[in-house]
Structure 1
Amino acid sequence: MILRIGNASGFYGDRFDAVREMLTGGELDVLTGDYLAELTMLILGRDLLKDPSAGYAKTFLRQMEEGLGLAHERGVRIVANAGGLNPAGLADALRALAGRLGVPARIAHVEGDRLPPRPDVLAANAYLGGGGIAACLAAGADVVVTGRVTDAALVTGPAQWFFGWGPEAYDELAGAVVAGHVLECGTQATGGNYAFFTDHDPAALRRPGFPLAELHADGSAVITKHPGTGGLVDTGTVTAQLLYETAGARYAGPDVTARLDTVQLTQEGPDRVRIDGVRGEAPPPALKAGLCRLGGFRNEVVFVLTGLDIEAKAALVQDQITDALAKAAPREVRWELVRTDREDAATEETASALLRLVVRDPDPEKAGRTLTGAAIELALASYPGFHVTAPPGKGTPYGVFESAYVPVGEVPHTAVLPDGTRLPVPVPPRTRPLEPVPGPGLPPPLPPGPVRRVPLGRIAGARSGDKGGDANVGVWVRTEEEWRWLVHALTADRFRELLPETKRLPVERHVLPGLRALNFTVTGLLGEGVASRARFDPQAKALGEWLRSRHLDVPEVLL
């Protein structure tokens, strides 16, 4: 038996037509969609404050205006976490939609992830596993919507239902977790955001197709895509996504802890990559939870500095703004000079640098009118050529994300079946506290030889992302010779040297020989998380590409 599970959304705002593309493009048993991220939970929390009937991904409901009928015609089940903070509300809206359309869709939802209210917390949610989804599908649901579940639960739930796996089928569940992690970001598995994109036909990458997994009863899977769709699937695209927002060898979740150091990837054919060999262990005794709260107000002004004396111009306006804010200085003031200018430039734009000012404060006045007034009043009194990229505006609220852990028995994971029956989902029969995996033996280094100073990206791919205030950077190579060099050359200390922004931060290196990969976790790089928007690249999406652009000595034999 094969269970074909596709993905049609990697985030709230992903390609709207993907649902139709996946439902009409080829064989499919289950279509999933991931709509939730840390920032999304904050957005939905603010929506819920304004309207108690809101709090879910409205895009998904609009996609279902066509998708419900298409899925019914083709016998495809739909599973999505679009319920956000209000899965029951989304389920009711879907029932009303199905009634208007005349589609006999049976709707179910999963709840229990919302934690009791906490002071100043806008949204507090535990990450649930796939058990509730499996129970809803077993009861005949055509559509299952959830609140906060792990991204991989959108695959482990259907797999548990289809194959009848028990809660202790750890290897099988771990295989489904790995497949689910590959699928959850949509086109990132099919050539999107891919380090080695220049090795492929640009026309093929203009509109990558969405991925699907052919899942087998033993937990193995083949990652592929519908015939004739754009993009590509190879061991590189799958490796990149496996490293995205993960860390060490143990990848913990509420269903199982998957051992990423056991993953084996094989190119089975064009656009077909087999994943097998994945081992699993009992899940940890606590569920991860995300806490979102409003952190204050934020404002930004970008000054344009053109031509000569860039640094002197920057110093002048910085001193002027500092003086103007002296009596009511915001709690946090951050300046960053971005040297986009070139000498003897042929256009004014390429002769200009950008000076970015970001302020944050609990008081909307300090982040808003105070800064706006200070910037506007300098229009005729500052450096020559004074102008800004946009008029200063009001301060806007920003959020803060925190991780917490809750004992699994304290979270009422509940499947609400199509007939309204409320079915409690049992807690795992066994748990296992997380422990570090002993470091693997390293291959011998390459013998000494001539080297050439080139960008790391000449031979290594990378993908980076965020987990709360931390960032991760996965780095991989494609041959054993490159691996023998990389694993010895790119230590945590060398990583800090190449990325000076991380120099004073904790950096942990994880070695994954089966993927020829290193995964670096940088603690605290993103401050209070993406919703706080404290950094130029608040989700560390391009941190890996910065690393690839840095130069170091690479053996000529590898070039």
Structure 2
Amino acid sequence: MSRVLRIGNASGFYGDRFDAVREMLTGGAEGGGLDVLTGDYLAELTMLILGRDLLKDPSAGYAKTFLRQMEEGLGLAHERGVRIVANAGGLNPAGLADALRALAGRLGVPARIAHVEGDRLPARDGVLAANAYLGGAGIAACLDAGADVVVTGRVTDAALVTGPAQWFFGWRPEDPGGYDRLAGAVVAGHVLECGTQATGGNYAFFTGHDPKLLRRPGFPLAELHEDGSAVITKHPGTGGVVDTGTVTAQLLYETGGARYAGPDVTARLDTVRLAQEGPDRVRISGVRGEAPPPTLKAGLCRLGGFRNELVFVLTGLDVEAKAELVRDQVEDALARGPKPRPAQVRWELARTDRADAATEETASALLRLVVRDPDPEAVGRTLSGAAIELALASYPGFHVTAPPGKGAPYGVFETAYVPVGEVPHTAVLPDGTRLAVPAPQERRALAPVPEPPLPEPPPSGPTRRGPLGLVAGARSGDKGGDANVGVWVRDDRAWRWLAHTLTVDLFRQLLPETKELPVERHVLPGLRALNFTVTGLLGEGVASQARFDPQAKGLGEWLRSRHVDLPEELL
């Protein structure tokens, strides 16, 4: 009987459910325990936050929440024989490893601590943090050396699974079928990385499940097999739900085309097959892999300048005219101010008001002003003066949601690519030995996958106008300044319709914000899904807060709310 690696996740971001570590370590006590527990703490915005922490304190730069979680989790993991792997080291994995050793000493837990480094790139002008995304081989080397806890800096989210898998099964990329096995682990890791998004969190069809189940979803785990296949599940008795829909949604999250590239392997998402194996059990199989690309992705975080915002409340009648008046007044005041007009000025009117409303709040619309400039005075004192002087001189009912404040710094995230040989991937073993981690020798440049043949179009029939979301689910997210929207359906009849109906042109019509931007459509027949990538929608990334929804979290739900002609047979 083949061995199975049971690997769970207890964090999808810095600030996720604090008790999840304990829940995952104790939830499988009745014969269903874990071999490895992972935690993902590093989003793009987190790297900027940690960079600012490090400027203030050279011993900081890691996720302090993880260290507090280990005050209880370290002993529990040791008792149960569970290895812990987390990227909580952020910009200072060595510092976190030292803090963990000190904690283990205080607790009397004989935990062997290791860490992975080498992801930090040489300093660049104006860059607060520059990190390459490493793969899982360094983690595997630390586990091979007997580490009980491995903390890393910037690795790919999936490396938290590929590393333990390489250690547990002894996989090597050059072995026959090696890339396919690694690709299976990448897909399993991508499902686990965002925690409860795989168990019913943020799920488009949530109304189809018992609300009590979704009140507190349990965290996911994967039963990874030696051939690279996996079963996604959760601990018995925990909340949430695992079905092919929740797994599909997470597979589409923050991805692009059929080739999902990483430092260990390029996984072919167009080969993924899902099957409901039982209650809260979804099998992933058939994943094919290819040699990784010759470069590593890197994230560059820098301070972009200063921003400020002000929200005007427009109540009752003549909302458009009120908005026009106050816009003209503020623009005139900014032009006459002591500083030049801010480099970027953006106005957005949200018509949240209703006619003949029963409350003042529901009778009001919101006019949002966002300004950016390299000079804090231009977005602080200048904007404050322009707004305050209008308090008694503007539209009837003038007020704002909060008084104007000082300008706050904002960050910019940029993506770069560096040759693999320029990044010194290093495993620092429990005894302090520094081990250079070799990269896979075979490399394959990325190329688009030709669009696969579409299914036969459905026969024509009666249609009814209604929201796309009556038929299709969606999940959206961010990658730097770009956004993706994955759209999927639940049966073959709906897939025949979706594949031929939701073209790039219709996508742009439904989401007018994307009309002038590059949009690509990627077809994933095995998931009955289309994945759209929109270049530049999010400006300079989440930290710059360029739009109302800076991480495109709601973009998919906006798309689902738009009305199209739906075949009546699908309703």
Q: 1:267: Cα distance to partner?
A: 0.1
| Structure 1 residues 355-396: Cα deviation after superposition (integer angstroms, max 9, x where no partner) | 000000000000111111211221111111111111111100
Paired with 2:381 and 2:43, the residues of 1 have a C-alpha distance of 31
Structure 2 partner of 1:421: 433
Structure 2 partner of 1:528: 540
Structure 2 partner of 1:430: 442
Paired with 1:87 and 1:378, the residues of 2 have a C-alpha distance of 51
Paired with 2:179 and 2:379, the residues of 1 have a C-alpha distance of 51
Structure 2 partner of 1:10: 12
Q: 1:487: Cα distance to partner?
A: 0.3
Secondary structure at the aligned position of 2:127 is classed as coil
Matched-pair identity in %: 87
Q: 1:299: Cα distance to partner?
A: 0.3
Structure 2 partner of 1:82: 88
Structure 1 partner of 2:463: 451
Structure 1 partner of 2:148: 142
Paired with 1:286 and 1:391, the residues of 2 have a C-alpha distance of 48
2:308 is the counterpart of 1:299 = yes
2:117 is the counterpart of 1:108 = no
Structure 2 partner of 1:241: 250
| CA RMSD after TM alignment | 0.6
| Structure 1 residues 424-460: Cα deviation after superposition (integer angstroms, max 9, x where no partner) | 0001120100011111011110011111111000010
- Unaligned stretches of 5+ in structure 2? none
Paired with 1:365 and 1:71, the residues of 2 have a C-alpha distance of 51
2:68 is the counterpart of 1:56 = no
Alignment of 1:61-76 (within 5 A): 61-76=67-82
Secondary structure at the aligned position of 1:511 is classed as strand
Q: 1:484: Cα distance to partner?
A: 0.2
Paired with 1:413 and 1:118, the residues of 2 have a C-alpha distance of 20
| Structure 1 residues 177-199: Cα deviation after superposition (integer angstroms, max 9, x where no partner) | 00000000000000000000000
Of 33, 40, 43 in structure 2, the residue corresponding to residue 34 of structure 1 is 40
Residue type of the alignment partner of 2:490: R
Alignment of 1:265-414 (within 5 A): 265-327=274-336, 328-414=340-426
Paired residues, what number? 559
Of 226, 230, 237 in structure 1, the residue corresponding to residue 239 of structure 2 is 230
Paired with 1:501 and 1:207, the residues of 2 have a C-alpha distance of 34
Paired with 2:55 and 2:193, the residues of 1 have a C-alpha distance of 28
Q: 1:305: Cα distance to partner?
A: 0.6
Q: 1:147: Cα distance to partner?
A: 0.2
Greater alpha carbon shift after TM alignment, 193-202 vs 166-175: 166-175
Secondary structure at the aligned position of 2:416 is classed as strand
Residue type of the alignment partner of 1:273: V
Paired with 1:352 and 1:233, the residues of 2 have a C-alpha distance of 40
Contact 1:445 1:484 (C-alpha < 8 Å) held by counterparts: yes
Secondary structure at the aligned position of 1:122 is classed as strand
Structure 1 stretches of 4+ with a deviation exceeding 6 A read none
Paired with 1:372 and 1:158, the residues of 2 have a C-alpha distance of 53
Paired with 1:86 and 1:165, the residues of 2 have a C-alpha distance of 29
Paired with 2:229 and 2:379, the residues of 1 have a C-alpha distance of 52
2:132 is the counterpart of 1:126 = yes
Paired with 1:392 and 1:186, the residues of 2 have a C-alpha distance of 37
2:215 is the counterpart of 1:206 = yes
Paired with 2:449 and 2:324, the residues of 1 have a C-alpha distance of 50
- Unaligned stretches of 5+ in structure 1? none
Contact 1:190 1:209 (C-alpha < 8 Å) held by counterparts: yes
Secondary structure at the aligned position of 2:48 is classed as helix
| Structure 1 residues 86-118: Cα deviation after superposition (integer angstroms, max 9, x where no partner) | 000000000011111111110000000000000
Structure 2 partner of 1:543: 555
Paired with 2:556 and 2:11, the residues of 1 have a C-alpha distance of 23
Residue type of the alignment partner of 1:360: R
Paired with 1:167 and 1:423, the residues of 2 have a C-alpha distance of 19
Q: 1:167: Cα distance to partner?
A: 2.3
Paired with 1:486 and 1:314, the residues of 2 have a C-alpha distance of 39
Q: 1:136: Cα distance to partner?
A: 0.2
2:475 is the counterpart of 1:473 = no
2:190 is the counterpart of 1:184 = no
Secondary structure at the aligned position of 1:94 is classed as helix
Paired with 1:18 and 1:41, the residues of 2 have a C-alpha distance of 22
Residue type of the alignment partner of 1:426: P
Contact 1:167 1:429 (C-alpha < 8 Å) held by counterparts: no
Q: 1:479: Cα distance to partner?
A: 0.5
Secondary structure at the aligned position of 1:215 is classed as strand
Secondary structure at the aligned position of 1:83 is classed as coil
Structure 1 partner of 2:49: 43
Paired with 1:439 and 1:199, the residues of 2 have a C-alpha distance of 32
